[in-house]
Amino acid sequence: MFNKLFKLLAIVGIAASIACGPDYGIFKPEVTEYVYMIDTAIETVEVEVEVLVEVPVEVEVPVEVVVEVPVEVPVYIETVVEGDPGEIWIDSFIQLNAIDGVDVLWIIDTSGSMYRYDPQLMAGIETMLLALPATNWRLVMISNDPSKAVLESQFPLVPGDDIADAEAMYAAMGRGGSEKGFEAAHDYIAMNPYAITWMRPDAALLIVFVSDEEEQSVTTMSAVSDFTSWYGSLRGGSTFLASIVTHEDDVSLCSWFVSSINVGDRYMEATNYFGGIIVDICDEDWAPGMTDSTHSIVPHESWPLTHEPIEDSIAVFINGSLDSNWLYSAMDNTVYFTTIPVPSAWVEIGYRYLSIDPDTGSTDTTTP
């Protein structure tokens, strides 16, 4: 309600009357008679008057109202399992970005001392050929001598090619004695006119270095950071690295003494920078490492488990949320995703497994 002030015009008539019309008298001799006549005047006066008036007005007033909304919240309840519940284990990985094909470059030490590793080399390449996707990949082998790499012009291996084709490429490959894998990679990719005809800027790129000696680039790639900076700028970041190199003597699988000057520290530093796979060149079987290297460049559609799980204990989480789009195969101890996790997703596969302690031959179960 509001009070409003209205101005009212009050008309006040003020009449002052001294006489009521004229009076008449009778003239008498020698007597003076007077007649008085008084007019009546009317005056109008404006007077300002305050008047309080109540007027109804509609007003909107905001009001906070508490509304209860039912929300489903997952609650995990710990239950007691009879018998041995097993050990808890979590396998995890970050899902890779989707790619449009894979270009693979094997940069191989072609010095004389490398011939002893030819059987492992061919077996490793065959493993990779079998592990690569069924389509849309290309693979070339070149020397780690930049002067030879810049001239290499062999057509890449493609889906459908096999180990016989790989052996033919290796036999025809240019060879040199320079141990400059970083510069060989740069000169082939950036300066070889033939490489431009088959390498694709929108495909992922995997380089595999193979050498029994240290990386020795001194011109454009004198520091490891020179190589990692350049290589990491290619393919929108879809660049991957693996190294098959000599390790320190105390951890090497070589049956002979390994000199520190032959340890591939620079190769390993670069590979670790890209989170790649490192294989000891003296390992008789390079296949597992090459399989892992190949799997590291394409989005994961499945994941092999580290231990054999208690099957009904398996739980898959994607970015912290429980996920049900998967199947477990006991035949190969692998979880297969029916819906592939999105790029960069953090995937965790938790489960329980029964730990089997090694048999020491002792029947004493007391703590020593």
Judge if 291 and 306 occupy the same domain: no
CATH number assigned to the domain comprising residue 225? 3.40.50.410
Same domain membership, residue 239 and residue 139: yes
Token pair for 179: 């141990």
Residue 231 sits in the same domain as residue 346: no
Tell me what the mean pLDDT of segment 212-233 comes to: 96
Q: Tell whether 52 is covered by a domain.
A: no
For residues 311, 313, 319 and 321, what is the CA-based torsion angle, rounded to 10 degrees?
120
Please, are residues 222 and 307 in contact by the beta-carbon 8 Å criterion? no
Residue where a domain terminates, one of 270, 295, 320: 295
Query: Is 66 a member of any domain?
Result: no
> Is residue 36 assigned to a domain?
no
Instruction: Tell which wins on pLDDT, 121 or 57.
Output: 121
Q: Which pLDDT value is given to residue 98?
A: 66
pLDDT of residue 366: 38
Provide the pLDDT confidence category of residue 362 given band limits of 50, 70 and 90.
very low
What is the domain range of residue 344?
87-94+302-353
Residue bearing the bigger pLDDT, 12 or 78: 78
- Give me the number of domains the chain comprises: 2
* Residue 174 belongs to some domain of the structure: yes
Query: What confidence tens digit (pLDDT) does each residue in 166-186 have?
Result: 999 999 999 998 999 999 999
- End position of a domain, from candidates 278, 295, 312: 295
Angle between helices 181-191 and 265-273 (to 10 degrees): 60
Residue 275 and residue 133 in one domain = yes
Same domain, 198 and 219: yes
**Does residue 142 have a pLDDT over 50?**
yes
Q: Which of 82-96, 104-118, 197-211 has the lowest mean pLDDT?
A: 82-96
Evaluate the CA torsion angle 316, 318, 320, 323 in order and state its sign: negative
Q: What is the pLDDT of residue 335?
A: 97
Q: Check whether residue 130 and residue 243 sit in a common domain.
A: yes
**What percentage of the chain carries pLDDT values higher than 90?**
60
Query: 252 and 326: one domain?
Result: no
191 shares a domain with 313: no
- Percent of residues, the chain, with pLDDT higher than 70: 78
The pLDDT tens digits for 229-262 are 999 999 888 899 999 999 999 999 999 999 999 9
The answer to whether position 138 is within a domain reads yes
**Position 208 in a domain:** yes
Residue 367 belongs to a domain: no
**Residue 50 belongs to some domain of the structure:** no
User: Same structural domain for residues 262 and 121?
Assistant: yes
At residue 16 the predicted structure's pLDDT band, cuts being 50, 70 and 90, is very low
Q: Are residues 348 and 260 in the same domain?
A: no
Bridge partners of residue 208, in order along the sequence: 106, 242
Q: What is the pLDDT of residue 53?
A: 66
Shared domain check, 324 and 260: no
CB atoms within 10 A of CB 130: 13
| pLDDT tens readout for residues 272-318 | 999 899 999 999 999 888 888 887 777 888 999 999 999 999 999 99
Domain boundary residue among 295, 316, 344?
A: 295
* Residue 116 and residue 255 in contact, taking contact as beta carbons nearer than 8 Å: no
59-68, 108-117, 317-326: least confidently modelled range: 59-68
pLDDT at 68 (0 to 100)? 77
Whether 360 shows a pLDDT value over 50: the answer reads no
pLDDT digits (tens, 9 = 90+) for 38-79: 555 566 667 676 767 676 777 777 777 777 777 666 665 555
Is residue 334 scored above 80 in pLDDT? yes
pLDDT confidence bin for 129, thresholds 50/70/90: very high
Residues 236 and 274 in one domain: yes
Give ∠ CA 284-287-288 in degrees, rounded to 5: 105
pLDDT value for 85 = 78
